[in-house]
Amino acid sequence: MQMAEGVKSTSGADIGLSTTGLWDQLAQQLINPSDLFILGYCDDKVCTARKFNFGDDRLLNKQRTAQAALDFLRDSFSEFLRMIRLFVALKIPDEIRKEIFNHCYALAENPLHYRWEAEDKVHLTLKFIGEIKEELLQQIIDELEFVKNYSSFNCTISKFGFFFRDNEARILWCNLETDESIVSLVDELNDRLKKYDIAIEKRKFKGHLTLLRIKDKVSEKFIKRFKEYSFNPIKFNTNEIALIQSVLKPSGSEYKVLKIYELK
């Protein structure tokens, strides 16, 4: 099991898998040591091991061990495929998203050079649920009905900013200021969803919209243009909260709206 964990940690892979013929003194007394194989498995949620006794044919045992490892992976993937990735978001009206990006395209000297966030994906995340078993989906849909008790939110967007990593700009965002009741809503989401073993977000809620994920280094001029840009605040009202599924694909994540909740 520790070998599999080491494989995962050293390689940076999502899953670590190990096979070994290790045995202890008790095993030597009870069986032929070549009969005993241990298969280790480790992912982000669990590290475990299985023991196998195949027989005394060493070549055949290698084949059986390889097949057992593949079966272990298949079982794990089968469980993973029954998981879905969810989050709860405040919807941003179409015309507001267009207005935000019009400012962005005007500020970027060569806007086609960047891979902007798709307009229909821009939202205010209220609660990242993460991976859950698909069988819990209907319960969570029903649990979220409480959000309808909240009134629609008055919102204001007034500036752009960046998140940095290793002193390099990595995300371009715009702020989103709204009613204080948004904090109560986020707290209630955390409280209600913890019964499904969904982690409570401990960071203080701060509204922002992600507009650009920056892969290559951008110039100081690019950063300065956005940070110093002044425009008339964009004010709007929104009355929809959505439960959204995020499907990870090689080309990037795709969003599927599972349920819309209309606010008062």
In the chain, where does the domain assigned CATH 3.90.1140.10 lie? 83-262
Given a contact cutoff of 8 angstroms between Cβ atoms, the answer to whether 72 and 39 are in contact is yes
| CATH superfamily membership of 83-262 | Cyclic phosphodiesterase (3.90.1140.10)
Dist. CA 116–CA 124, nearest whole Å = 16
pLDDT at 25: 44
Q: Is there a contact between 20 and 40 (Cβ–Cβ < 8 Å)?
A: yes
Q: What's the confidence (pLDDT) of residue 53?
A: 67
pLDDT for the residue 5:
78
Number of Cα atoms under 13 Å in the Cβ half of residue 25: 0
Tokens in use for 232?
């008339």
- Going residue by residue through the chain (264 aa), what tens digit of pLDDT does each one get? 678 777 777 887 878 888 776 544 444 444 444 456 777 778 776 677 777 666 666 677 677 777 777 776 766 655 555 788 999 999 999 999 999 999 999 999 888 889 899 999 999 999 999 989 888 999 999 999 999 999 999 999 999 999 999 899 999 999 999 999 999 999 999 999 999 989 898 888 889 999 999 988 899 999 999 999 999 999 999 999 999 999 877 677 889 999 999 999
Task: Supply the pTM of this predicted model.
Answer: 0.69
What pLDDT is recorded for position 24?
46
β-partners of residue 145 are none
Contact 144, 243 (CB under 8 A): yes
> Within its chain, how far is the Cα of 38 from the centroid?
32
The answer to whether domain 2-80 has CATH 3.90.79.10 is: no
